[in-house]
Amino acid sequence: MTKYIKQEMNDLDGTGKKRSFYRLQTIRNLSGEEFIEMMAGRHAGVNPAMVKQVFYQAAEDMAFYMAMGYTVTIDGIGTFKPTLGMRRGKKMEQLDEEGAKRNAQSIRVNGVNFRADKKLIRRTDYECELERGETKRISRSPYSKEERLKLAQAYLETHPYMRVNDYVILSKLGKASATKELREFSKNPENGITWTGSRSSKLYIKKENLWGKLFLLI
């Protein structure tokens, strides 16, 4: 049995109505190794080492052909399509903006979109036996946005960096809201907060500490 959760939604239009949506309760993420071992256990004659090599080669070739401008569809699974974005520090030009134009060096592949095949959706629905789980409400901070900014700034006065999880504890926000708010704080130079690292290991730091932090990371 797979549990589903009733999740409260943000009141984006300010109506005051409490809306919700349903989502599956995730047990955890399966690694590639685990998935292959489980698949081998379900199907006789499946060689885990061979399957692993096929997956690895498929990923390599998908990247190659998507980089050439193709989208890739795997029947029964879905379609993969690369997306573009600006490199850090570069801004998107206006459509009819005059003057210097962005060249290819300012643009990069920043993600891959996935659209599931209807067969995969139907099969997942067929295999899924649902039961009611818990109801989850949005975490609401007792502090105003201005107070949370001051808390973040004070934290960085006594700590070399701040992770999103640190800000979750500090602000009493949910993780998604804390991530969004920190990103917003870092975009305003007057806040004195910036970030370093990659998306998966982003660290927020005082703006004047950026070069010192980069030196320590090197």
Q: At what angle are helices 145-158 and 164-171 packed, to 10 degrees? A: 130
Phi, psi of 30 (to 5 degrees): -90, 130
Question: Please, where in the chain does CATH 1.10.10.10 lie?
Answer: 145-217
Residue-wise pLDDT tens for the chain (218 aa)? 899 999 988 766 667 788 899 999 999 999 999 999 999 999 988 899 999 999 999 999 999 999 999 999 999 999 999 999 888 877 776 666 665 566 778 899 999 999 999 999 999 999 999 999 998 877 788 999 999 999 999 999 999 999 999 999 999 988 888 999 999 999 999 999 999 987 667 899 998 755 454 444 44
Question: Please, where in the chain does CATH 4.10.520.10 lie?
Answer: 2-134
CATH topology of domain 145-217: Arc Repressor Mutant, subunit A (1.10.10)
Number of other residues whose CB lies within 10 A of the CB of residue 144: 9
Distance CA 194, CA 187 (A): 7
Which pLDDT value is given to residue 105? 84
Phi, psi of 216 (to 5 degrees): -65, -40
Q: What is the pTM of this model?
A: 0.61
Which pLDDT value is given to residue 95? 62
CATH topology of domain 2-134: HU Protein; Chain A (4.10.520)
